[in-house]
Structures are given as C-alpha cells and as structure tokens.
Amino acid sequence: MEDFIHTRHHRISWIVLQELELFNPLAKRTAFCENFYHEFRFMNLGVRSHLDPNYSSTLFWPLNSHRKSGRMKEHIRSLLQEQNQATEGSPAFPLQFNNQDFVKLQNYCLHQGLLFEDDTFPANSHSIGLNLFPEEKLRKIQWLRPNELVRNPHLFVDGISRFDILQGQKIGNCWVLAALGALTQQQRFLKNMIPTDQGFNHTYAGIFHFQFWYFGSWVDVVIDDRLPFIDGNYLSVHPRSKNEFWPSLLEKAYAKLQGSYEKLHYGFISEALVDLTGGVQLTFNLGIPTDHLFEIMKTAALSGCLMACSSPEMKKTGRQVLENGIVQQHVYAVIDAREVPYMDGKELLIKLWNPWGTVEWNGAWSDHSMEWDRVPQSFKDKFYVNRADGEFWISFEDLKDNFSFLSVCNNLPTFLDFGKENNTSWSVVSYFNQLSPEGSNYQRDALSRNHQYFIKVPEFMMKYNVVVALMQRPDNISRTLANIGFQIKKGRTIVHDTQLNKIRDITIPYQLNAGDYIIIPMASPQNQKLKFLLRIFLRSQGNIREPSNEFSSETTKDMLFWNPDNYESVFFRYAYQNSYLDASQLQRILNDVLLKVAVSSINANGKLSLQEFKRLWGAFKKYEDIFGREDENNSGFLTISNLQRIVQETGLYVSDKVLHLLVLRYGDSTQRINFPDFVCCMFRLETMSKAFLNLSKNRGSICFTEDEWMTMIMYC
C-alpha cells in the first residue's frame, strides 16, 4: 500500500480517521476501503496530511503519545490493508515502481537534512536517452532543481489547467501533452494521478511522485526534482508560469516509467490516454468517419471523456505549420463538441488545443473569423474567446479534412451511448495471462488452445454492445513488442479477426448478435513468454449507468459554482429521473462543484427531497458570498479573525476555546482555512447548534439517553 502520511513531528497523541465519506452519514462504510486517498488529520498539532481533498475527519482514536510516527504509519497501513486486500494496484493502493516507497524516502531525507537523488533515474545521459541527441549535445545538459531556478517555486499556481503547459521544441512529446491537456479538465482522473501530499512547503525534500496505470495496475513513480536544461532552456515541456513545476515534474515521472526522455519522442496518443487514466480508448479514422461520429464526440464531451486528434504526416516537407495554421504530424487535445445556430441552420463545431500553447487554426470559426458574427449573441458570449493560447474552434467538416485520427477515452466506453436509447450499463471483466509461443514458424492455432475466453451477449442492440481491449506488456529490458491480435468465434465460425499487428494495445468495438462467443488472444512466435491483459466491456439493457460517467467534473483551475437559481435542473440531472437524491448522487454533486462539503440529510431517511436540496443549494451560495467578502486580498484563505466575525454575524455562540479548536480542525498548519473547509466548518457548526436547541428545548443543557447520544455522535 502506498498511502502517503507525513508529519514533521515525531510524536503525536491523537489521530483522526475518517470512516464516513464527506461527513455524510448516509455513505456506506465500504467507502472507507473503496474510495481513494483517505484523509488523515493530526488534530492537536494542527497538522494534516491530505490524501484526498474530498475527506474530512470525524472519528477520533487515541494512540499512545510515546509512539513514533513511523510505527504509527505502519500500523495505519496494516489496518487499511486488512480492510481491503483486493485494492492493491488501485489508485489508493498503487504498486511501488522500482520498489521505491515515497513516504520512507521522503522521511529519510527530511530526517537527514538531504535532498533526494534518484539513483534509479539518475541525472545523466542515460535518463535522457543515448540516441536522442549527439554526444556533444548530451554533455551540455544541466540538471537543475526548481529552487535553483526561481526564489519561490510552487507545484501548482492557481490550480491545474492545460494552459499551464507549453511544449518544448527539443522532444516530440505532443502525444503525452495532448492527453495531459485533455485530462486537466477532469478532476476524477487528476486525483488518481497527482497525489496531494507534496509540494515546496515544510515537507520538501527534493522528492515527488506521480501515479500511472501500467498494464492493469496503478503504479507510484518516485522522482527527484532535478530537471534537464540545455542552453539555459527546458529540454522538454515547460510551464507558462515560471514558478509552477507540475508539468515538468509529471513529465519526468512518465519518462522514468517509459525508460527515458527519448521514449517520449514520438508515440501514440492512444497509449498516453490509457496510461494516464486506466480507461478504455477507441480510435476513429477521420478519413473514413464512423456513422454518428459527431454524436459520439458530443456524448464524450458531455460525459467527461478525454479526446485527442492527430494530424497526418507531413504533406509539405521542410514546413511543419501549414498556411491554415495546422501543425503537421502533431496531436491536439479535443476540448469540446457543440452545435451552434448559424444563419438558417446549425454548425457542428469542435474545440481543439495545441500543446505548443500557440499556433492556431486560422480558417472558418477560428478566433478572428467572421462566422462568429452570424451566430446568436448568447452563443457567441458563451463559446467565443479571442486569445493566443493555442485553443480554437474548427468545424467538424474541417476537422475531418485536416486530421487523420480521433482518440476517445473513458473508464467505461460511455461515449458509445449516443442517441436516445441510453438506458444501458457497461460492465467489464479483465484477464491477465501469458502466451507461450513455441517454434519459429507462424502457428496461430498452437497459440490459442489454452486461452479462450467466453462471453454471452444477451441481446442485439442498434449500437456497439461489446468492446474488446487487448494489451501486451513489453519486455522490461528491450521494450520490444510482439505481433498481437485476437479472434472472435461463434461456435466454429470466425466472426471477427483483427490479424496480427506490432502494437501495444488493440481496442475494437463490435455490434454482436445475441449468443455465446469465444475471444482468443493471439501473438506471433517469440522467444519468451508474452504477458497480456484482456479486457472485455459488455453493454446490457435495462440498467441505468452511474451519472459519474454521464456528467463531467468542472475544470480544476476554472471551477465554476453553479447558479443556485438552477437548483432544480441540477437536482434532476443528478437524481437521474428520480424524485430524490441518494448519498452517492449527493456526493457526486459536491465533488463536482465544491470538491468537499460536509452535509446531512434533513429527514435522516437517506434521501434529499427537491425542497431540501433547494435549501442546501442556497446555503452554498450564501457561504460562497461570505467567503468572497471576507477574503479581501483573494488569497483563497480565511484567518481566525475572519471566522470569528462570520460566526458572530451568523448569530451562533462560540467560545474562544471552541473557535481555536475549529481553526485547528479545519485550518492548515498556519491556521488558515480554505473555502471547502470553511463550508465544512459552517455546516457542522450550524447543524450542531440547531441540534442543541432542538434537544435542550431552550433549557441550556441536554440530557441524553444512550440511543440519543449514539444517534448524535454517529449521525450528526
């Protein structure tokens, strides 16, 4: 298990464990095991280690104060492992890449007063790649830490955005950066990849870590923060803000996973999308467009999928950028797909982002085009932006004319759920195995006898109902790939045959008739055993899929708080045609909009009605306004004096002692409170104040029965 618990103190007397998700008493206890990155808070020290910004503390367990933090962490790890052994390799329990434990290495460096140096990915030419540059150029590369470049480095500046990324000109890694740019829109994917327990604060020791999906499991990749420079410039990706370093550090971690920076020089966008998300990816040929392709793209954009498209190989040698602004042999992130009224009809538009951070399409629907003057003003105000940031709109027809392939990725293939018939759900089953080819001749039948996987398609559908994804694990040393493929048989009849291709992943959607099928992975003969992962996604009728795959999270940097007047549409969007919200649906709203909020159901029946949700939604707006008013310097934090003033204006009674406890519980080590924690605090404070008034009946004191006490403690 790779939980990340850190503190600069050697002794603590209390640890706070969260077993109820989001302070929500409706959440099932299994959420403790199944949800990612649980948060631990060290209350009496005013120190906390964020493992997930979506969690707050509720249950307190005393530990012997003489225990050292190292033993305590091991104890916590063992407890969590006992609760759910099956999660090894998940984002919450990633495998250690190269057997490097981030927590142990960080603590050792802090204790010794050292800055970490990674001997498994050293600061030398081997980590760059011996074939990327001439030897004399490799010798010129310098490795510098962020604090050697700027006085006040940060991992993030104002959150995470694709506009933080600027591709360098030395390495052709647009396939990685386009995937990363698309991913920055989706908090649910970001939180799996970028742990929040690191930065340039008191825990800084020159060590960072990031998580990637590698052959069916999430792995934690540890790096030092020495970055390669040549002639005073970043060797590869560089941030738009000089003191922001997450793009460069994340790229270094991915280069380490791949083997070197050289391995990032040209690659497949399909592989990057899968590595960053653990999802399923489909590639569409824009030269031979699939029926309903725009509907697929629109559904993908609405459901929070990642998309990217690639331009064809150079038509004109010696000139990478065409007259229309499109970069040849380049990958762009697809940000959105929309229909807009135009003249007497509609225009299908696609929004793209160039990882260069500059150079944009200059044809129809570009930043300066006249087409935007012929759409309703409301649509222009909503979608049109004239800014030199690499992002632009292009018509769907021009997209097909100027780009060759489109890649779409999500944890489930929900982007295939276009159209009206969407009352279906996707399930997935995974198989890890290995082929043992023998001999030197091409013998397909010999390879397939021991690896046959059976599926049952319950009924025919008018859309794709089966997706087969086959992945091979490259050899650890040579990284060479075998020729792989698969057959689908119904009885003795071969229904589909992919043939064999030298590629890491093959993913194909199918529209199969009802019946029983056999899927047979295959490979051309190799000298060693070939490990593979087979994932089969099957659509079934009648079950409504989780809304988490239907509606996207908001952008991390450009978080928008929805208008409280729209509470009704938001309610029915997430209630998914029901007349109430259950705990998981409410949690999803809070994750999407506020990242973390503590709430309780008014009727204690496990559900929120529309009227209850209306009051809750209005409270969000109230707290947002209060926070914005008190945060006069836009720092993103409130102080204890701000909180005291707010509590007094709200009409709540809080003693100085309680006020200081609130700041310790909800504030950071400097006693500052951010917006999500402020909302948690105010909800909790108001809830407990009302509970006291109701139970005391204005007598100034409360007498509890055992049942009332347990209800108060465990529920409120």
- Among residues 6, 50, 209, 330, the one annotated as catalytic is 330
Q: How far apart are CA 644 and CA 654, in angstroms?
A: 8
- Among residues 354, 402, 410, 549, the one annotated as catalytic is 354
Q: Strand runs (DSSP E) across 458-529, as ranges? A: 466-472, 483-490, 493-497, 501-502, 505-510, 515-523
Measured CA to CA in angstroms, residue 690 lies from 524, 611, 652, 684 at distances of: 70, 19, 10, 10
Q: How far apart are CA 311 and CA 163, in angstroms?
A: 21
For the question of residue 24 being annotated catalytic, the response is no
For the question of residue 354 being annotated catalytic, the response is yes
Q: Are the C-beta atoms of 532 and 215 separated by less than 8 Å?
A: no
How many Cα atoms within 13 Å fall on the side-chain side of residue 216? 17
Q: Which residue, among 205, 92, 99, has the nearest Cα to 147 in the 3D structure? A: 205
DSSP 632: T
Q: How far apart are CA 114 and CA 207, in angstroms?
A: 10
Token pair 């089953």 is found at 429
For the question of residue 174 being annotated catalytic, the response is yes
Q: Which two tokens stand for residue 466?
A: 């089966």
**Residue 15: partners with Cβ closer than 8 Å, 6 or more residues away:** 40, 42, 61, 63, 72, 76
Q: Are the C-beta atoms of 210 and 194 separated by less than 8 Å?
A: yes
Beta-strand relationship, 95-96 and 217-224: parallel
Report CA Rg, the chain.
27
Estimate the crossing angle of helix 610-630 against helix 675-696, to 10 degrees: 120
Sign of CA dihedral 626, 629, 633, 634: positive
Q: Which two tokens stand for residue 135?
A: 């030897």
Q: How far apart are CA 179 and CA 156, in angstroms?
A: 19
Estimate the crossing angle of helix 567-575 against helix 583-593, to 10 degrees: 130
Burial of residue 392 (number of CB atoms within 10 Å: 0-12, 13-18, 19+): buried
Determine how many CB atoms are found less than 10 A away from the CB of residue 304: 23
How many Cα atoms within 13 Å fall on the side-chain side of residue 154? 12
Q: Which residue, among 154, 321, 123, has the nearest Cα to 227 in the 3D structure? A: 123
Residues labelled catalytic = 174, 330, 354
